[in-house]
Amino acid sequence: MYYERSLVPELYSLLLSGERPHPLLYLVERKLEKNKIQMRLDLQFRGDMLHFYLGLTKLIQIRIDKKGFLRTTAAAVYRLHDEVRSSYGQEDAKRLLADIERYLGRVEVNKRYLSAEGRCQNWLSFRYGHEREAGTEEPFAIDREVVIRYRDEAEKNDLWGHPIRVRALGMAGGLSSKSPELYGRDLHLRSLGDELDMLMWQAPDRLLVTEVKGGGNAHGIYMAPVQLAAYTAAWMHFVPAGSLAGLKALVEQKRALGLIRMDDAEWDSFEKHLAQPKIVPALVVQDPNRESTCWARLREVAEHVNSEWPSDWGPSPMDSLRVYTVEEPEGDLEDHTVEFLGG
């Protein structure tokens, strides 16, 4: 198992060279309006590719090929514009940026990709990355759409499939047995993918395994502890079994390029504590409805997951579950664990 998303040396060196910041990095400050919704683009690193997200969709990808050319592409639904089928030399950054700007102005985005959850993920990446205030206790966003990789399907099944995924769905099935009217029927038959919404870091030593939900998604909110149980267990297994060098490299590159603002003391602290971080499950709710009954169910589900936590997963981290809110489209992250979970 491994986690490697830092940029390949050729692409990283390109972004570091010449004009600073590189013209492509200006796109993280770009606000688009689609379906009367305004949102910033979110840039994420994927090895030899740059992915630009708008909500829950990748609008465009830029890959560096073996000859050093930059090639743009997009999902099939967006490939109706010539701009996303072009190749550029490294000296053509400004032409590439101009072509991308034209494409972004023309492309149409289905509103379902611009949900509160997607908008919140974009905002958290920006606010706690490029716009983070260095030298503070603010958390920082490491990555989104987070997936631990495995050497092959056999390893994935051995480490994720049966020992984690199946047992987490068993926890959900227990809720169905207790009260199908409240929680839903046959929850053990539902899907549970291996993609976590976000990884964040809270100084000095907390790795926040983070799921993001819109305030109107009551079912998603109160069932989040089941998802978080699976993802937290996976990361608890990954930290001692694998290496967090990939996370360190990713943060180091983003810091150097101005995509995560932190000072030297913060970097030294992160580097020191990354060797043995505390894995903490976290739920972020965009614009919570405080009158909803979902909070009582959230407490019940969290207690159920805690009581059903398998002993061979190690100590249950559910007692440390944090609940954060983001009020308004671009509010700060606020810890409301006591309000929503009590205690």
How far apart, in whole angstroms, are the C-alpha atoms of residue 211 and residue 322?
11
Tell me what pLDDT residue 10 has.
96
| In the chain, where the domains are located | 9-113, 116-341
What is the longest distance spanned by two Cα atoms in the chain?
A: 63
How far apart, in whole angstroms, are the C-alpha atoms of residue 37 and residue 103?
18
How far apart, in whole angstroms, are the C-alpha atoms of residue 162 and residue 237?
14
Tell me what pLDDT residue 112 has.
92
How far apart, in whole angstroms, are the C-alpha atoms of residue 16 and residue 167?
45
Tell me what pLDDT residue 84 has.
66
* Short-list 89, 137, 108, 93, CA closest to 32: 108
| DSSP SS3 for 296 | helix
Tell me what pLDDT residue 245 has.
92
* Short-list 108, 64, 106, 112, CA closest to 89: 64
CB count within 10 Å of CB 276 equals 10
Give the pLDDT confidence of 197-254 residue by residue, as tens digits: 999 999 999 999 999 999 999 999 999 999 999 999 999 988 876 678 999 999 999 9
User: Is the distance from CB of 282 to CB of 35 less than 8 angstroms?
Assistant: no
**Which residues does the chain have with pLDDT short of 70?**
79-85, 241-242, 343
Residue 7 is classified by DSSP as P
In 2-128, where do the E strands start and end? 31-34, 37-40, 42-46, 49-54, 57-64, 70-73, 87-88
Tell me what pLDDT residue 269 has.
97
What pairing do the DSSP bridges indicate for beta strands 57-64 and 70-73?
Answer: antiparallel
- pTM for the full model? 0.95
Tell me what pLDDT residue 209 has.
98
Tell me what pLDDT residue 80 has.
57
User: Is the distance from CB of 84 to CB of 52 less than 8 angstroms?
Assistant: no
